[in-house]
Structure 1
Amino acid sequence: MVQHILTPTDGSDPSIHAIEQATEIANPSDATIHALAVIPEMTRGAKAQEEWDERVTDALERAHEIADREGLEYEQAKLNGPVAREIVDYATEHDIDLIVMGTHGRSGLHRFLVGSVTRRTIETSPIPVVTVPPEE
């Protein structure tokens, strides 16, 4: 039975959609939602750090509102570092049963150059990862 679901968030529409899907999965077993926001290690400078901090704080607040609306237990964390690694490390350290995360639907050259946090998470996670495509 799923008791702890991790849903990474950056405040984007796909990550918010993933949180909504995670609450649907969590409801039958009354699982705890863990929202995780990771500030990428490439963030340099006080202004960029401040902007990311504000963005992820808003994202975590939104995640809390969604979990609260569904009456689910909620935990949150804000970390700095390589995003996929921080997601997998958090999941391992907190006995997470399932990771639910959004995809941005990128393809082609952009995906090749930028890489995919979701893909790297799937490749390195010892627990199941459910991907949620963007809403159309």
Structure 2
Amino acid sequence: MSRLIDSILIPTDGSEGALAGAKRAIALASRTNADVHVLSVVAVRSDLEEGTDAAESLYASLEAEAEDAVETVAEMARSADAEVTTAVTRGTPFQSIREYATRREIDVIAMGTKGRTGLDRVLLGSVTENVLRTTRTPVLAVPPNADATEIDNVAFEEFLLPTDGSDGAAIAADWGIALASRLESMVHAVYSVDTSRVSRAKAPDELLDALEDSGEDALETVREHARSADVSVSGAVATGPPADVILTTAGERDVDLIVMGTHGRTGIGQWFLGSVTENVVRQADVPVFCVPVSAETP
């Protein structure tokens, strides 16, 4: 890529949750000189026969609302001097978002984690989860309570970078450190030794020491990478369920962004980063930048 991030896709349904995602996305686009794409998907309803007058009347109304939602975000992006492309389409929301990102070679999808509910709306939260599970593109997942500041005041000063030493975590580290370098941010790396899966009463000290040593090795890999990119970095091994450790550390460090892979290792002493990522996205008070294993290395 000529830039770290050339393009950011912002799906919207006009909800407050979507606007929270849009603000963080536009702030990131402004800092990285990325182009912005704004997309609204009108969900196709199985109980309506397309082509009938009733169906087309309803879809026309929904598409008009979608156009308004798209234009609201587009105006925000233009105010931040971003180049903006807009689109409204019909389909299954998460599939349409994924397909648009692939077709347009989008670098990052930025979404709120909560959206509207109701007869004619799809809960954006479920759409976000489906996008996270299926896309090959990094996703910036933004919780509603992150919408607490104006775009110009959005901070990207402190990143939390969880690692389990897996290939997936390494790819996420590449993205996190590249972003930190571009945005002049500091990185805090954390490795969790999940003793809930390895009872201290039954596991020999040698096993627990080996798990902690593995953690230190994984952290040192991140530290070396960060130092080579001239990024300030700290790291620590923590004990406990990974999602709890990540959320607690994020709060203690008062980070602005969590950067993590969507899949990691499984097995004794290791954690499946996929389920951990979903739990973190659901519970985090700050945006989570989720990087799939298949994402292009920045």
Q: TM-score, normalised by structure 1?
A: 0.87
Instruction: Map residues 45-84 of structure 1 onto 2, 5 A cutoff.
Output: 45=203, 46-84=205-243
Write the deviation string for residues 71-114 of structure 1: whole angstroms up to 9, x where unpaired.
000011110011101100100111100000012289xxxxxxx9
Runs of 4+ in 1 over 4 A off after TM superposition: none
Instruction: Map residues 34-49 of structure 1 onto 2, 5 A cutoff.
Output: 34-41=188-195, 42-44=197-199, 45=203, 46-49=205-208
The aligned residue for residue 97 of structure 1 is 256
Maintained 8 Å contact 2:226/2:233: yes
Query: Aligned to 2:187, which of 27, 33, 36?
Result: 33
The aligned residue for residue 132 of structure 2 is none
Q: Is 1:18 equivalent to 2:172 in the alignment?
A: yes
Superposed displacement of residue 30, structure 1: 1.1
Q: Is 1:5 equivalent to 2:164 in the alignment?
A: no
Maintained 8 Å contact 1:23/1:67: yes
Work out the number of aligned pairs and report it: 129
Maintained 8 Å contact 2:162/2:169: yes
Change (3 A) 1:116 1:31: same
The gaps in structure 2 that reach 5 residues or longer are 1-154, 266-272
Write the deviation string for residues 9-47 of structure 1: whole angstroms up to 9, x where unpaired.
011111111111001111122100110001012223123
SS in 1 for 2:161: strand
Maintained 8 Å contact 2:164/2:264: no
Query: Aligned to 1:121, which of 267, 274, 280?
Result: 280
CA distance in 2, matches of 1:70, 1:105: 24
Name the stretch that deviates more: 62-71 or 51-60.
51-60
Maintained 8 Å contact 1:100/1:131: yes
Superposed displacement of residue 115, structure 1: 7.2
Change (3 A) 1:68 1:89: same
CA distance in 2, matches of 1:21, 1:102: 10
> Using CA pairs below 8 Å that are at least 6 residues apart, which structure has the higher relative contact order?
1
Change (3 A) 1:116 1:4: same
CA distance in 2, matches of 1:100, 1:115: 13
Percent same amino acid among aligned pairs? Answer: 33
The aligned residue for residue 109 of structure 1 is none
Give the partner amino acid of 1:78: V
Maintained 8 Å contact 1:105/1:133: no
Maintained 8 Å contact 1:67/1:74: yes
Coordinate RMSD, CA, aligned: 1.9
The gaps in structure 1 that reach 5 residues or longer are 107-113
The aligned residue for residue 291 of structure 2 is 132
The aligned residue for residue 110 of structure 1 is none
Write the deviation string for residues 104-136 of structure 1: whole angstroms up to 9, x where unpaired.
289xxxxxxx97111111111111001100037
